[in-house]
Amino acid sequence: MEKSGFSPVGLRVLVVDDDPTWLKILEKMLKKCSYEVTTCGLAREALRLLRERKDGYDIVISDVNMPDMDGFKLLEHVGLELDLPVIMMSVDGETSRVMKGVQHGACDYLLKPIRMKELKIIWQHVLRKKLQEVRDIEGCGYEGGADWITRYDEAHFLGGGEDVSFGKKRKDFDFEKKLLQDESDPSSSSSKKARVVWSFELHQKFVNAVNQIGCDHKAGPKKILDLMNVPWLTRENVASHLQKYRLYLSRLEKGKELKCYSGGVKNADSSPKDVEVNSGYQSPGRSSYVFSGGNSLIQKATEIDPKPLASASLSDLNTDVIMPPKTKKTRIGFDPPISSSAFDSLLPWNDVPEVLESKPVLYENSFLQQQPLPSQSSYVANSAPSLMEEEMKPPYETPAGGSSVNADEFLMPQDKIPTVTLQDLDPSAMKLQEFNTEAILRSLNWELPESHHSVSLDTDLDLTWLQGERFLANTGLQFQDYSSSPSLLSELPAHLNWYGNERLPDPDEYSFMVDQGLFIS
Amino acid sequence: MDTLIAQLQRQFRDYTISLYHQGFLDDQFTELKKLQDECSPDFVAEVVTLFFEDCEKLISNMARALDQAGNVDFKLVGSSVHQLKGSSSSVGAKRVKGLCITLKECCDSQNYEGCVRCLQQVDIEYKTLKAKLQDLFNLEQQIVQAGGRIPQVDI
């Protein structure tokens, strides 16, 4: 029997961020923490993934700003439907934003740039949540089975149990069976304390019950519970859900867009057991960690469940439910149908243009994979400084002979006409043309060498250059001082100037370098 | 007598340090280098490539928005600059990030001239950084080609 205690290894993290750079970095960082990482560039996609595999993830990390869905909205969905811990991230650390995150139920709010040490400890949120579930169960006064479940769970989570892996095991199936048995056994305690997952159907019943009562503010948990007619649900479950629901409503009232979904819910036949089985899934008896050997357990789990909730089927329980098609305040739009196609058609954010959809990373275009500059190849062959100077000249079109470039040269960069024009070389300029930014560029005297004389903004640009260059010139000097060995200076004066002088080549030269060199555009 | 490798390594070290000292990079770049390992030997290059692509796209979006004379969508510019700020924070592009903050302020106050000027600077800055990082990567390649190891530079 292994008593290794709790281990965060294999924690299944879902990262949601529309920034491809951050997504790549976070993936790498989380992998270094030995977590199992899934990345996602869109909130919609994330929700789909989460719903498809209800037990597929342990924790969600999401950025606050995303094009297709507000991160807070995603947070709400995840919290209400799946009850997974969610960590928010943003480059913006404004107190109001952080507060909003907390209000929406985030268990943490990280500021970008995020450090490894912050990611290393995210597992505590998962553990905390699980322990809370255990306490919830205890608090509900479970008879007989409660102790068993509690002990089982604690041992399970804290790693002192029979096995330390956190996947679904035989015990979990036994637990579910027990639940189902108790469910069908009329003499069993009516206070069934499975960990309640507020599935779409369940929440629907809840909402309908609330609607029936009339005003959600007057609706009490007991009344709602009675109306819902879900035998295994307790007053406490309803009470806590009602609390969340009220919070959600009040947020909506504060000027958030009210989204209404007409009842576009698909109906398919499935056994009433679905709901129970699925809530059984979410029971604490079934932890959701999977160690590397544990994947088979998840598969096993899905085998057992004939119709996972995430598929487009709904349990029969729902057919009794009234689905008022009209707009009502209490008909909240945060429970879209499970199937993604229905989801897409109903969600208003479908209208958001997918301009900023994350694109796949094009590794082929990385710096290192393109042809080196011809002059560069001879760089290595020659160690003599004078030769180096020679080699360095061509790629940079050094106007002043390359030995020393001073600040004056940069006042009028447009005077230096490079041998290649912007249009020839810079595909990004081409792209800009497509979008008609060329017009702006011309008028703003941005990158075109010949247009430096007329526009009023010109002087501003020059000033900018001037200011920038002063800064650089100063630091260039500092750099030269910085170099500790005088021999370096004497040996490679040109080189030092090249790197150290920090001259700011004009954008045209950049384009030249950029496209001759190793850049993707 | 300095070997070629030693010279290159020294240049590499000096150049790296200068980039930090001149505010082009901050410690996030250091973190990125730490993440690079045998599993992903080109990690830093790949990440900065993504970043520069993002820069281009976002700057072009903003330029387009600013081009709508009289009907500038400052909200769009604002959200794009926010994204750019986030992006630049990912690679440690310190100057770009700083300019994003200024640009955001211009945006919030709907200062058209300021936005345009700032955006120009952002464009220049990211291209500058791109060139410098290219130099740095080239140096690395040369060191490796010459048979040397890339020195660890402590800032």
Comparing CB atoms, the residue among A361, A461, A483 nearest residue B50 is A361
Q: Is it the case that residue B56 has pLDDT exceeding 50? A: yes
Tell me the chain A residues in contact with residue B56 when contact means C-beta distances shorter than 8 Å: 428, 431, 521
Tell me the chain B residues in contact with residue A487 when contact means C-beta distances shorter than 8 Å: 2
Identity of the amino acid at A251:
R
Contact (CB<8Å) B47/A380: no
Residue A120 in tokens:
């290393």
Residue A361's contacts (CB-CB under 8 Å, 6 or more residues apart) are A20, A24, B46, B50
Instruction: Measure the CA–CA gap between A370 and A376, rounded to whole angstroms.
Output: 13
- A362 interfaces chain B, CB cutoff of 8 Å: yes
Tell me the chain A residues in contact with residue B123 when contact means C-beta distances shorter than 8 Å: 446-447, 507
Contact (CB<8Å) B90/A468: no
Which of 420-449 (A) contact B at CB < 8 A? 428, 431-432, 435-437, 439-441, 444, 446-447
Contact (CB<8Å) B45/A468: no
- pLDDT at residue number B13: 95
pLDDT by residue for chain A (521 residues), tens only, comes to 444 456 788 999 999 999 999 999 999 999 999 999 999 999 999 999 999 988 899 999 999 988 888 889 999 888 888 888 999 999 988 888 899 888 888 999 999 999 999 999 999 999 998 888 788 777 654 444 444 444 444 444 444 444 333 444 444 444 444 444 444 444 444 444 456 778 778 888 888 888 888 765 566 888 888 888 888 888 888 888 888 888 778 777 765 544 444 443 344 444 444 444 333 333 444 433 333 343 444 344 334 444 443 333 334 444 444 444 444 444 444 444 444 444 344 444 444 444 444 444 444 444 444 444 444 433 333 444 444 444 444 443 434 443 443 444 434 444 444 444 434 444 444 444 444 555 554 555 444 444 444 444 444 444 444 444 444 344 443 334 434 444 433 444 444 444 444 444 444 444 444 444 444 44
Comparing CB atoms, the residue among B2, B79, B127 nearest residue A510 is B127
- pLDDT at residue number A442: 52
* Run of H or E residues at A74: helix A71-77
Distance from the A299 Cα atom to the nearest Cα atom in chain B, whole angstroms? 29
Residue A368, SS3?
Answer: helix
Q: Which of A91, A363, A495, A518 to mutate to test the interface with B (most CBs of B within 10 A)?
A: A91
Residue identified by tokens 């001259």 is A503
- Terminal Cα-to-Cα distance of chain A (whole angstroms): 57
Instruction: Measure the CA–CA gap between A448 and A426, rounded to whole angstroms.
Output: 12
Instruction: Measure the CA–CA gap between A119 and A260, rounded to whole angstroms.
Output: 37
* Cα dihedral across residues A496, A502, A503, A504: positive or negative: positive
Distance from the B110 Cα atom to the nearest Cα atom in chain A, whole angstroms? 18
Identity of the amino acid at B66:
L
Please state the ipTM of this predicted complex.
0.94
Distance from the A490 Cα atom to the nearest Cα atom in chain B, whole angstroms? 13
DSSP string, A22-34: HHHHHHHHHHHTT
Distance from the B66 Cα atom to the nearest Cα atom in chain A, whole angstroms? 8
Tell me the chain B residues in contact with residue A69 when contact means C-beta distances shorter than 8 Å: none
pTM, to two decimals: 0.51
Instruction: Measure the CA–CA gap between A193 and A233, rounded to whole angstroms.
Output: 7
Tell me the chain A residues in contact with residue B85 when contact means C-beta distances shorter than 8 Å: 91
Quick one: residue A68, left, alpha or beta (phi over 0 = left, psi -120 to 50 = alpha)? alpha
Name beta bridge partners: A62. A16, A88
Instruction: Classify residue A304 by burial, with Cβ atoms within 10 Å: 0-12, 13-18, 19+.
Output: middle
- pLDDT at residue number B127: 96
Distance from the B64 Cα atom to the nearest Cα atom in chain A, whole angstroms? 6
Confidence of residue B1 (pLDDT cuts 50, 70, 90): low
User: What phi and psi, each to the nearest 5 degrees, are found at residue A37?
Assistant: -110, 135
- pLDDT at residue number B48: 96
What is the pairing mode between strands A108-111 and A86-90? parallel
Distance from the A390 Cα atom to the nearest Cα atom in chain B, whole angstroms? 16
Residue identified by tokens 């057992």 is A304
* Cα dihedral across residues A452, A455, A460, A461: positive or negative: negative
Which of 61-90 (A) contact B at CB < 8 A? 63, 65, 90
A521 to chain B: closest CA residue: B53
Q: Where are the alpha helices (DSSP H) in B22-148?
A: 27-35, 43-67, 74-91, 94-108, 112-145
Give me the sheet containing A36-40, strands edge to edge. Answer: A36-40, A12-16, A59-63, A86-90, A108-111
Comparing CB atoms, the residue among B2, B63, B134 nearest residue A518 is B134
Chains A–B, number of C-beta pairs less than 8 Å apart: 184
Contact (CB<8Å) A475/B28: no
Distance from the A63 Cα atom to the nearest Cα atom in chain B, whole angstroms? 10
Contact (CB<8Å) A464/B120: yes
- pLDDT at residue number A44: 92
Domains, chain A: 12-137 (3.40.50.2300), 200-256 (1.10.10.60)
